[in-house]
Amino acid sequence: MSASHPRYLWWNGKRVAWEGATVHVTQLGWATVPAIFEGIMSYWNDAQEELFVFRLDAHLQRFLRSQKMMRMARDYSVAQLTEVIADLLRANECRQDTYVYPLAFLGGGGGFRRLSSTEPAATEITITTRPSPSHLLQREWKHACISSWTRISDNVMPPRVKNLSNYRNSQLASAEASMNGYDTPILLNAQGKVAEGPGACIMMVRDGQLITPGVTESILESITRASLIELARDLDIEVVERTIDRTELYIADEVFFCGTAAEVTPIVSVDRYPVGDGEQGPITSRLERAFHDAVRGKDRRYARWVTPVGAPKAVPAD
Ligand SMILES: Cc1ncc(COP(=O)(O)O)c(C=O)c1O
């Protein structure tokens, strides 16, 4: 792998050299309006010299559901894409935490028009990989604000699926937050209740209970969220999925984001109200540790969540 990019990416059924994977400029634009994607993390386990892809099956199932939702042809199965991703990670000799990015878009131009067809639209798929060091256990905290932008909703642009276009809403909110001196926005839904972050779900702790909005509150059906709910229950932490008021965040004991890229990210203030005592809280810390051990394949109780890719052994230095 060169310093700036991996050797290969996968495109429509073939592993191809990075430099050779180009599209004509006329394909840009409408083709990406219904484009859908996945963000998948794979974690390096030093002791086992192995790379583990976290919840690959769940991510690929969501990838296919997003394709269905956007009326795209689904030419590859979960099993085929699983093999493709493992092969790509091996070919790129990934021996560090690595982000995997499958993207499906409408090839051949005219994507917007073709969406109205009754036939599923012809779909192109690319899969790329890039190094993405985990920030778990690094004590990276964020200061948040409530955004003046409303989260997109199911009857407007369904946040349930990972449509690329959904992220314009996230981008507007993130830009506003950073211009106002915050690290991140938290978006409310059309009902004025807490939805999620720009690229992550949200959880809070009140009186020992872990509380998170339900999947009909204008959120992505997050795989990390589902995993943390399971981990929390295994740790005997009570979990409740319910509507959250904005002001509950101001008086919560703990608040954190969760997601593939966010992993577990503590929020230590909301609209300048310190969360708890303004530091990462104890339940967040327990969940972060449990998540870390699960994703890296260290806690074998969650072995079913991780796919070993069969990483090539390091070539010994002369
Ligand atoms: C808007 C949004 N919400 C939530 C999440 C978390 O979803 P997941 O845990 O499946 O990555 C993401 C992606 O990470 C996201 O982009």
CATH of the domain at 196: 3.20.10.10
Residue 126 lies in a domain: yes
Residue 97 pLDDT more than 60?
Answer: yes
pLDDT digits (tens, 9 = 90+) for 200-247: 999 999 999 999 999 999 999 999 999 999 999 999 999 999 999 999
Q: Which two tokens stand for residue 60?
A: 């690929």
Ligand 1 centroid – CA 256 distance (Å): 13
Q: Are 180 and 88 in the same domain?
A: no
pLDDT more than 70, % of the chain = 94
Q: Which two tokens stand for residue 274?
A: 């310190």
**Among 73-77, 147-151, 309-313, which range has the highest average pLDDT?**
147-151
Instruction: State the pLDDT at residue 71.
Output: 87
Place of tokens 């067809």: 117
Question: For residue 188, what are the β-bridge partners?
Answer: 150, 194
Interval 71-77 mean pLDDT: 92
Residues with CB under 6 A from ligand 1: 39, 196, 199-201, 220, 222-225, 259-261
Q: Are 34 and 115 in contact (CB under 8 A)?
A: yes
The answer for residues whose C-beta is within 8 angstroms of residue 316's C-beta and 6 or more apart is none
- Name the residue of 162, 166, 222, 291 whose CB sits within 8 Å of the most ligand 1 atoms, as the mutation to test its pocket: 222
Instruction: State the pLDDT at residue 114.
Output: 60
Query: Ligand 1: which residue has its CA nearest to atom 15?
Result: 199
- Return the ligand 1 atom nearest residue 162 CA: 16
How many domains would you assign to the chain? 2
Which of the four pLDDT bands, split at 50, 70 and 90, describes residue 110? low
Catalytic residue among 14, 68, 142, 162: 162
Ligand 1 centroid – CA 262 distance (Å): 8
Other Cβ atoms closer than 10 A to 49? 12
- Name the residue of 37, 154, 260 whose CB sits within 8 Å of the most ligand 1 atoms, as the mutation to test its pocket: 260
Residue 194 lies in a domain: yes
Ligand 1 centroid – CA 311 distance (Å): 27
The answer for residues whose C-beta is within 8 angstroms of residue 107's C-beta and 6 or more apart is 12, 27, 31, 122, 123, 124
Q: Residue 120: which of 60, 61, 69 has the closest Cα?
A: 69
pLDDT digits (tens, 9 = 90+) for 251-282: 999 999 999 999 999 999 999 999 999 999 99
Q: Are 293 and 146 in the same domain?
A: yes
Write the Ramachandran bin of 170: left for phi over 0, alpha for psi from -120 to 50, otherwise beta: alpha
Instruction: State the pLDDT at residue 18.
Output: 96
Residue 193 among the catalytic residues: no
Query: Ligand 1: which residue has its CA nearest to atom 4?
Result: 200
CA Rg value for the chain: 20
Average pLDDT, the chain: 94
Q: Which two tokens stand for residue 269?
A: 């203030």
Q: Are 95 and 37 in the same domain?
A: yes
Domain range enclosing 200? 142-300
What are the backbone angles phi and psi of residue 190, rounded to the nearest 5°? -65, -20
Instruction: State the pLDDT at residue 304.
Output: 98
- pTM of the predicted protein model: 0.95
d(CA 308, CA 298): 12
Residue 305 lies in a domain: no
Instruction: State the pLDDT at residue 166.
Output: 97
Q: Are 266 and 281 in contact (CB under 8 A)?
A: yes
Residue 79 pLDDT more than 80?
Answer: yes
Which of the four pLDDT bands, split at 50, 70 and 90, describes residue 143? very high
| Single-letter amino acid, residue 271 | D
> Last residue of some domain: 103, 131, 159?
131
Q: Are 215 and 226 in contact (CB under 8 A)?
A: no
Q: Residue 193: which of 244, 248, 256 has the closest Cα?
A: 244
> Last residue of some domain: 131, 159, 176?
131
Residue 1 pLDDT more than 90?
Answer: no
Q: Are 216 and 284 in the same domain?
A: yes
Residue 158 per-residue DSSP state: -
Place of tokens 């592993």: 15
> Lowest-pLDDT range, 29-43, 98-112, 119-133?
98-112
Residue 170 lies in a domain: yes
Query: Ligand 1: which residue has its CA nearest to atom 6?
Result: 259
